[in-house]
Amino acid sequence: MTAASRSEAPSRAGAIARSIVRVLLGASLLLAGIGHLTVARAEFQAQVPPWLPLDPDFVVVASGIVEIALGLALLVLRRRRALVGLVVAAFFIAVFPGNIAQWTEGRDGLGLDTDAARFGRLLFQPLLVIAALWSTYAWREIRRWWRDRRA
């Protein structure tokens, strides 16, 4: 094992921490996706920007199905976890404009009924992106890909 590969090798505690974060993220996506399709459906519509040229209910149902699929993928696709992490991070980035619209337009939903609560959610979204990349080792794969392309 080279010095570079040793520095990239995760410690046992680090691997456990990554697994815990990945499972929590997967379970959260799974539960949120189910919420999109059930009782909280109207609440999720508050996050659909009015400028989006799609029916808000369609967006909520479609994103719910995607969240369920991503949540399950985080939980069961071990061999593809880095790719899944990239897709989950991209999903979190893709829905961010809805969070911005909810804040700028002052729309209540999902318990976010103050400007401060809606703004706080904006700060939380980048943490979800980081958690998706870190917990799936996608961060490491991106660095490795970048390093190999530059060599």
- 10-residue block means of pLDDT along the chain (151 residues)? 53 92 97 89 82 91 96 95 97 92 83 87 93 94 84 70
> What residues does 112 pair with on adjacent strands?
109
The answer to whether residue 6 sits within a structural domain is no
On whether residue 27 sits in a domain, the answer given is yes
Q: What is the DSSP letter of 31?
A: H
Q: How far apart (Å, rounded) are the C-alpha atoms in residues 149 and 4?
A: 16
* pLDDT value, residue 90: 97
Task: Evaluate whether residue 133 is within a structural domain.
Answer: yes
Domain extent, residue 104, equals 14-150
- 4, part of any domain: no
What pLDDT does residue 41 have?
81
Is residue 134 within 8 A of residue 17, CB to CB? The reply is no
Domain presence at residue 19: yes
pTM above 0.75, yes or no: yes
The pLDDT assigned to 59 comes to 92
Q: What angle do CA 75, 78, 82 make, to 5 degrees?
A: 100
Up-side HSE of residue 3: CA atoms within 13 Å toward CB? 0
Total domains in the chain come to 1
Please tell me whether residue 126 adopts helix, strand or coil conformation. helix
Nearest alpha-carbon partner for 136 in 9, 49, 13, 23: 23
CA nearest to 140, candidates 7, 42, 51 = 7
